[in-house]
Amino acid sequence: MPTTILNGKEVSQSVYSALKSRISALKSQSITPNLAVILVGEDPASQVYVRNKTRQFSNHGLFSDTITYPSDITQEVLLSKIYELNKNNQFHGILVQFPLPNHIDVDAIINAIDPKKDVDGFHPYNLGCLTAGKPIFIPCTPKGIMRIFHHYNISISGKHVVVVGRSNIVGRPISILTSLKQVNSNGTTTICHSGTINIGQYTKQADIVILALGSPEFLKGKDIKEGAVIIDVGINRVDNDSPKGYKIVGDGEEASLKGKASACTPVPGGVGPMTIAMLVENTVEAAERSLL
């Protein structure tokens, strides 16, 4: 079966186009959406993610400010910076790039962010609103996946969706989003994790599989049914002989999934660009709400 490639880059461009008039309307009121990014330590992957995110802000005429700290920063200093940013009207959104060093309590950091500036949608208030079916800020990656479904007219209603992974940033929120009693949702969702016995028995029944576990090429073609839609969130570095010394692969084995799946997201170029587009959109939303 021919497999449609769900091109996240293309979908993200349509998101940016749709945001243009909203950004202009804000600017006409002397407001430019502005994101504060906190980056702790020297992790190269985190540095790349922050660079890619902030680049899209400047590409679309928005502001961002990256505040960097060494990895031995204390939790108290980090918290006091967040409290300061919460009060600073110049910033509409606050993003703390994860992972943080082990001595920092991630929950304390997330809980400190003003939910009105929580453009990553990780604060328990925002996760609670999402769970209640009345989302305010939706975490960027799950929101981006829903936008891919919408763009390609992939209906979830009545479908069996199997999510592999239950993190608060991807697996859990996408399992909620796909099962809400709402137009563009209304799926029957199963969530698998490291405690699931024989994940293949679930993925083989799925109309849609969403992979968010962080295990290179975990899902093979033999583990899906013919015509399933595969959304691959995974970003994994695998060593190889290339000049860079590694390549990026997803949580699905592209070679065996292609030809059996009806549609799949590539890695890279699938979910990744949508995560950034949704961060930009959430920051525009935060700026709009600041006027209410």
If phi > 0 it is left, if psi is from -120 to 50 it is alpha, else beta; for residue 215 that is beta
Tell which one of 110, 161, 212, 229 touches ligand NDP (CB under 6 A): 212
Residue 107 annotated as catalytic:
no
Copy the structure tokens of residue 111: 């809980």
Count other Cβ atoms within 10 Å, centred on residue 283. 27
Tell which one of 38, 62, 209, 213 touches ligand NDP (CB under 6 A): 213
Using CB under 6 A, which residues numbered 217 to 236 contact ligand NDP? 233-236
Distances in Å between the Cα of 48 and the Cα atoms of 55, 198, 241, 276 are: 10, 35, 22, 12
CB 140, min distance to ligand NDP, A: 7
Beta-bridge partners for 96: 38
Does the footprint of ligand NDP cover residue 210 (CB under 6 A)? Answer: no
**CB neighbours of 173 closer than 8 A, spacing ≥ 6?**
121, 127, 130, 138, 139, 142
d(CA 61, CA 283): 13
Does the footprint of ligand NDP cover residue 110 (CB under 6 A)? Answer: no
CA angle 18, 114, 136 (to 5 degrees): 40
Does the footprint of ligand NDP cover residue 167 (CB under 6 A)? Answer: yes
Nearer to ligand NDP, 221 or 272 (CB): 272
The SS3 assignment for 87 reads helix
Beta-bridge partners for 237: 248
> Which DSSP category does 97 fall into?
P
Nearer to ligand NDP, 81 or 118 (CB): 118
Does the footprint of ligand NDP cover residue 215 (CB under 6 A)? Answer: yes
Nearer to ligand NDP, 91 or 122 (CB): 122
Residue 13 annotated as catalytic:
no
Tell which one of 53, 159, 166, 260 touches ligand NDP (CB under 6 A): 166
Does the footprint of ligand NDP cover residue 216 (CB under 6 A)? Answer: no
Of 118, 120, 223, 232, which is the active-site residue? 120
Evaluate the omega torsion of the peptide bond into residue 99 and state whether it is cis, within 30 degrees of 0: yes
Under a CB-based contact definition with an 8 Å cutoff, are residues 163 and 188 in contact? no
Sole window of 26-34, 71-79, 124-132, 212-220 interacting with ligand NDP (rule: CB under 6 A): 212-220
> The tokens 């660009």 sit on which residue?
273
CB 216, min distance to ligand NDP, A: 9
Does the footprint of ligand NDP cover residue 275 (CB under 6 A)? Answer: yes
Tell which one of 26, 174, 271, 287 touches ligand NDP (CB under 6 A): 271
d(CA 129, CA 87): 23
Tell which one of 71, 194, 201, 240 touches ligand NDP (CB under 6 A): 194
Beta-bridge partners for 68: 39
Residue 97 annotated as catalytic:
yes
Sole window of 64-72, 101-109, 118-126, 159-167 interacting with ligand NDP (rule: CB under 6 A): 159-167
The SS3 assignment for 236 reads strand
Does the footprint of ligand NDP cover residue 82 (CB under 6 A)? Answer: no
Q: Indicate which residues carry an active-site annotation.
A: 53, 97, 120
Contacts with ligand NDP by CB under 6 A lie at 141, 164-167, 169-171, 192-195, 199, 212-215, 233-236, 271-272, 275
